[in-house]
Amino acid sequence: MNKKIITYSKSGVSISKADKFVNFISALSKKTNKNGDFKNIGGFGAISEIPKKLKNPMIVTSTDGVGTKIEIANQLNKFNTIGIDLVAMCVNDLIVCGARPYIFLDYISVDKLNLKKLKTIIKGIIKGCEIANCKLVGGETAEMPGTYAKNKFDLAGFALGLVEKNKILKNKIKKNDLILGVPSNGLHSNGFSLVRYILKKEKINLKKNPYLKKELIKPTKIYVEYIQKLMDKNYLNACANITGGGLEDNIKRIIPNEFCAEIKLNKVRTLKIFKWLKNKGISEKEMLKTFNCGVGFCLIINSKNLKKISKFFPKKYKPYVIGKITKNLKNIKLSGKISW
């Protein structure tokens, strides 16, 4: 009796395509990491040296994804920026602790390997690593037929940073410190389930709306360069990455129990995309809880350093005062309203 030979490829998994993708990443990694001492891509584990200049290094780690912004990328068939988002969501959390991003790993899971799409995504990840001054040293690409719908995929990232023990941003907040808002460049990678709900409810064809098409795929701003310079100068007492949960939930995570962050919402300089969303029927409370509303990062500083800090940022991202630290058992207090 003749029996058809069963192979892995017949189940929907292509090892040969996976190998080609790994070779592509390896070649691309060599071009961007010319000083790398170890061959990590394609191995069982990634090896990296700890910089010798650090006397008492502490490891800081972060992992994140980009949420349903992936669906926007799928809808627009545009995949060259979503990798930057992935890096940004991880490294912007690392720098809150005072750490310098050092290495990055990615996880991509798909229904079926599409080398053209995957190569575009990985180029974005490497671009994000270049902006954040860290290295892509490894990752995993999983082809999982039957788990995802056709052409669907998901991304996750893992970042590791290093910081001198005495440089960790912890317990440095003092009464009368200023709270500065650093502008975002848009939605970043939060709140996209609500955005997509509105697009569906309003029956908006994203491909035929040039403004939204550009705005919704715009990659998350990476703040590493600026924050590292401020850390080197000892200008920061604390900082916060404004992601899901908005200003309130993210700032109160870093405020010690005896202090309060008093935020004046009328000082917040919002952006056109948030005004557009607000006008679609979202309450101010929901806007503040879901989106960054124009403030992508917050700095807490001694008031004497305000002018010194400004020169480290380009005009578009110059920080501005949105509040101050007071003595209070309530961690955060919001007053006023954003001018929508």
Same domain, 249 and 152: no
Pairing relationship of beta strands 100-110 and 153-164 according to DSSP bridges: antiparallel
Rounded mean pLDDT, 238-251 = 96
In a domain, 61, yes or no: yes
Same domain, 287 and 324: yes
Instruction: Judge contact between 143 and 110, C-beta under 8 A.
Output: yes
Same domain, 95 and 225: no
Mean pLDDT lowest for which of 24-38, 208-222, 303-317? 24-38
Helix (H, G, I), strand (E, B) or coil at 178: strand
Mean pLDDT lowest for which of 79-88, 286-295, 329-338? 329-338
Same domain, 29 and 81: yes
Rounded mean pLDDT, 18-36 = 63
Structure tokens at 310: 């400004």
pLDDT score at 97: 95
In a domain, 239, yes or no: yes
pLDDT score at 204: 96
Same domain, 139 and 262: no
pLDDT tops 90 at residue 53:
no
Same domain, 20 and 163: yes
Q: pLDDT-based confidence at 8, cuts 50/70/90?
A: low
Same domain, 247 and 272: yes
In a domain, 229, yes or no: yes
Q: pLDDT-based confidence at 43, cuts 50/70/90?
A: low
pLDDT score at 237: 97
Closest CA to 135 of 65, 51, 220: 51
Radius of gyration of the chain (CA): 22
Instruction: Judge contact between 160 and 60, C-beta under 8 A.
Output: yes
Neighbours of 68 (CB within 10 A): 17
pLDDT score at 312: 96
Q: What CATH code is carried by the domain that includes residue 93?
A: 3.30.1330.10
Q: Which amino acid type is present at position 76?
A: L
pLDDT score at 260: 97
Same domain, 140 and 182: no
Same domain, 240 and 323: yes
Same domain, 236 and 323: yes
In a domain, 331, yes or no: yes
pLDDT score at 80: 96
Helix (H, G, I), strand (E, B) or coil at 4: coil
**Strand ranges of the sheet holding 320-327, from the earlier edge strand across to the other edge:** 238-241, 295-301, 178-183, 320-327, 259-264, 332-335
Same domain, 142 and 242: no
Same domain, 143 and 248: no
Between these two residues, 234 and 1, which has the higher pLDDT value?
234
In a domain, 33, yes or no: yes
55-67 confidence digits (pLDDT tens): 999 999 999 999 9
Cα within 13 Å of Cα(180), Cβ side:
23
Following DSSP, what letter does each residue of 73-131 receive, concatenated?
HHHHT--SSHHHHHHHHHHHHHGGGTPEEEEEEEEEEESS--HHHHHHHHHHHHHHHHH
pLDDT tops 70 at residue 168:
yes
User: How many angstroms separate the CA atoms of 207 and 214, rounded?
Assistant: 10
In a domain, 197, yes or no: no
Residue 216 burial by Cβ neighbours in a 10 Å radius (0-12, 13-18, 19+): buried
Q: What CATH code is carried by the domain that includes residue 239?
A: 3.90.650.10
91-129 confidence digits (pLDDT tens): 999 999 999 999 999 999 998 888 899 999 999 999 999
At CB < 8 A and 24+ separation, what contacts does 273-280 make? Answer: 273/186, 273/187, 273/215, 274/340, 275/340, 277/194, 277/195, 277/198, 278/340, 279/340, 280/198, 280/202
User: How many angstroms separate the CA atoms of 244 and 254, rounded?
Assistant: 15
Residue 110 pairs in a beta bridge with 143, 153
Look at the chain and report how many structural domains it folds into.
Answer: 2
Instruction: Judge contact between 37 and 49, C-beta under 8 A.
Output: yes
Q: pLDDT-based confidence at 262, cuts 50/70/90?
A: very high
- Domain residues for the domain of 317 are 178-186+221-335
In a domain, 211, yes or no: no
- Beta strand segments in 220-258, E: 238-241
pLDDT score at 165: 94
